[in-house]
Amino acid sequence: MSFEREVKKRAADTCELCGHAEPENLVVYEVPKTPEYIEGEERSICACTTCISQFDSDERDLNHWRCLNDSMWSSVAPVQVMAWRMLHRLKSGGWSQDLLDMMYMEDQQLEWAAAAGDAEDKSDALVHRDANGVILQTGDNVVLIKDLKVKGSSMIAKQGTAVRRISLDHENATFIEGKVDGVQIVLITEYVKKL
């Protein structure tokens, strides 16, 4: 029997992270950064396409990942590893830290989980915050909280104008970019509020 069939059999044809049970949406996923001494089905999990699509994405459905409350207790090592990694990737949700504090893993599994770098201190990373201190991320929508004269043009961006799908300046935490009236402009974060 192939190891893929073994993984799906172990998972009872359900996603080992969220419990989704549509066989056509299930994939055997090899956990990245797996030590070489781990072989066969112990390197992989059975996961649905929804979970897999959000592993490395910046846009995650926090409610979908509440499933980790159950799957983090799995006795299957690669499932624990991916649950631990996802909980670290979801720290912006707040509740994931509580689950991490409760989670127990053997030293070898913890070392495997940490190999992807999800627990590294990123405190020196730039954080963009709006006028109310809410963290802004690429793709967010914001609204202007005052009229702004656009430098180098006669355009005035009016208070209340929505700016959709912003992008962040990776060198300065006070600047974001977005389109206002079809023109791409740089905005200062203290003059916007996240929608």
Q: What is the distance, to the nearest Å, from the Cα of residue 155 to the centroid of all Cα atoms in its chain?
A: 36
**164-179: pLDDT as tens digits:** 989 888 788 899 999 9
Q: Where in the chain is the domain with CATH 2.30.30.40?
A: 128-194
3-class SS string, 75-89:
CCHHHHHHHHHHHHH
Instruction: pLDDT band for 120, please (50, 70, 90 cuts).
Output: low
Cβ neighbours, 10 Å, residue 17? 28
128-194 has which fold? SH3 type barrels. (2.30.30)
CA end-to-end span of the chain, whole Å?
Answer: 52
Q: What is the mean pLDDT of the chain?
A: 90
Cα 8-56-59 angle, rounded to 5 deg: 115
The model's pTM is 0.62
Identify the residue with better confidence: 6 or 152: 6
Is the pLDDT at 122 greater than 70? The verdict is: no
Is the pLDDT at 185 greater than 60? The verdict is: yes
